[in-house]
Chain A
Amino acid sequence: MPSRDKSITDMPKKRSTFLLSVLCFGMAFLYIPMFLLIVYSFNYSKIVSVWGGLSTRWYISLFESEEIWSALMLSLKIAIVNATFATLFGTLAGLALARFRHFRGRTLFTGMISAPLVMPEVITGLSLLLLFITLGDLIGWPEKRGITTITIAHITFSLAYVAVIIESRLSGIGETLEEAALDLGAKPLRVMMDITLPLLAPGMLAGWLLAFTLSLDDLVIASFVSGPGSSTLPMLIYSRVKLGLKPDINALATMIILAVAMGVLIAGWILIRQQKQRERDAQLAGAK
């Protein structure tokens, strides 16, 4: 018997060393490159891969670089406008998918909404480029490609993601709450404002953030539909890589990592607070 007791107490310990090493390996794999990037952003040397002592000169040069700032601002502008419109249209599409069961062309609509999710980006980009050129020739709009065409292109594919999020959120909520509001005398538009939209708000926020990220991240489609003088940040970084990397890109990347880390920390903090609130509510419900 003692030997069995021992094996029981030993088991979790052994497993935990194994798990711990796997965890460390995975974490290292994911985060060492980023760590190196941060370290090298403080590198004095002009050559990215050679260490030349500590310095913040690339941060200074970053803040002085007109080109990078304007690219960043352009990317943010496009991302915000894109996210807003994609959320608007995506929500409408999601509502149509989840709440209108029978309408002519429903299957076609469903397929067309989800097509951008699986379509290779090069094809989306190329087809949009052709569309813009044809339109420009036929009706004179868009005159030239730039911020407008990139934004339109981004909206077309990110609204598909928003529509999927909204649809699944709507099926999760179910129709009973809307029926209950109807039953209590609210007309359909009123039900939308009072019940559907408030309950959909978290889904819409998630959709907005996803569309924002997708836009900020996109290189391929933007490359197709952008014009002279309208380089987004990913396009700028990519062209820099081709021309030979300057360490100020490391500094920029470090700043982006910092921003993302802050975002994740804040989100985590909010989640923990909500969790605690839920536990308190559950206790309250059980108390009486």
Chain B
Amino acid sequence: MSTQERDAFLDRPWKDSTAEPFIRIEGVTKRFGAFTAVEAVSLDIYKGELFSLLGGSGCGKTTLLRMLAGFEEPTAGHIYIDGVDMVDVPAYARPVNMMFQSYALFPHMSVEDNVAYGLKRDGVPKAETSQRVADMLSMVELLELQKRKPHQLSGGQRQRVALARALVKRPKLLLLDEPLAALDKRLREQTQFELMNIQDQLGVTFIVVTHDQEEAMTLSTRIAVMDHGQIIQVGEPSEVYERPQTKDIANFIGTINMFDGEVMSSNDSFLLRCPKISKPLKLPSQTELNIGQQVTLAIRPEKIKMTLEDPHDPSRITLRGEVLEFAYMGNISIYRVKIEGEVVLQITIPNLDRMAERKIEWDDQVFISWHPDNSLVLRD
């Protein structure tokens, strides 16, 4: 292995087949009566990762997190943390701390006592406890509020107390259940970066449960997308966004335009015959396909170019359309364009130039085009 390769693996241990995972989830299933909440999930998570479990409500992500914390026992399968099987280890003895969605601050204790609670239970000497509590509170900028009770704090302050309380024990693994869901948008964005900084500083492995795909994209080193108790894709944010493996994932993460059709072949490449569009669409190269196969061609809204004039570029797929409506969002504009009188596509255009000679508006006849390699082939 060259040094260059090894450096690449330092940041991305999941690409290194010889790397030892820090958390190994092996065939874990959890049933509640007849209902299967988590089904045969296997997952390797490496030290220092900020790993997200992403999915809609009821997809099993929280149950998986609760099994890692020790609040639920797997019906089948094993969980190893740092090489130790966690099956018989009770929640209070695991090297894991959790930040709860509701923060779960003890209402009858001050901020200081909340943060100190875990250290007291571990029998850490008094002087060290107060030093570590003070350090942690100053890191989350709450030192001057340490005597307050939780109900005397705002939502953002409570969130930071919960984080400090979970981190002060220096756990090997921190579990975060929807850590930002209760905050308003501005605070959420700010806190996202704070979380990333703290994680970077302390080198603790984070597992975050979230239903917010944007949050998962910005925070994570890797994302596991869950649905119906199963993991349907694991990958870096860009992989999950650029190469979603199913239609569901493509729809769940961001927006995507899709064309259903049948594969046919021309001399050097595959084409898609789409019943709603008169001309066949070129499929991306390097895809293994069979003629006659039913597939879906998918293209992200920002990968489509829209012009008033025909680009005359033979390498691109070009279609004619008419602008139905558009929404100005500030940094971008979102257009809905009807092509071939039937199919409606969504297109986003960055507002790069304030002095653009002519903006595209309602009822404009436009040319839309994309390069086939920017599109995706999805199977059901």
Contacts and interface: CB of A to CB of B under 8 A. Distances in A.
Nearest to A280: B152
B106 A281 contact: no
A162 B359 CA distance: 72
A177 interface: yes
Nearest to A184: B118
B165 interface: yes
Interface string A264-279: 0000000000000010
Given A199-B107, A286-B154, A288-B154, A185 B122 contact: yes
B199 to A, nearest CB: 19
A177 B106 CA distance: 7
Interface string A181-221: 11111111010001100110000000000000000000000
Contacts, number: 73
A183 B152 contact: no
Interface in B155-175: 157, 165-166, 169
Contacts of A186: 92, 117, 121
B185 interface: no
Interface in B195-224: none
Interface stretch (B12-20, B96-104, B260-268, B365-373): B96-104
B102 A183 contact: no
Contacts of A195: 106
A143 interface: no
Which of A183, A185, A195, A288 has the largest count of B CB atoms less than 10 A from its CB? A183
A139 interface: no
B149 interface: yes
A203 to B, nearest CB: 13
Contacts of B157: 285, 288
Contact of B117 (A176, A184, A199, A282): A184
A181 B149 contact: no
A183 B69 contact: yes
B312 interface: no
B148 interface: yes
Q: Is the interface of A mostly helix, strand, loop or mixed?
A: helix
Contacts of B122: 185
B104 A185 contact: no
B108 interface: yes
Contacts of B108: 198-199
Given A184-B97, A284-B152, A285-B151, A177 B91 contact: no
A122 B22 CA distance: 67
B209 to A, nearest CB: 14
A281 B149 contact: yes
Contacts of A137: none
Contacts of A73: none
Interface of B: 69-71, 90-93, 96-98, 100, 102, 104, 106-108, 117-118, 121-122, 145, 148-149, 151-154, 157, 165-166, 169
Would you list the 3 A-B pairs with minimal beta carbon distance, nearest first? A184-B118, A180-B104, A185-B121
28 contacts: A176-B100, A176-B102, A177-B106, A179-B91, A179-B98, A179-B100, A179-B104, A180-B98, A180-B100, A181-B117, A183-B70, A183-B71, A183-B96, A183-B97, A184-B92, A185-B93, A186-B121, A187-B92, A188-B92, A190-B121, A199-B107, A199-B108, A278-B151, A281-B149, A282-B151, A285-B151, A286-B154, A288-B145
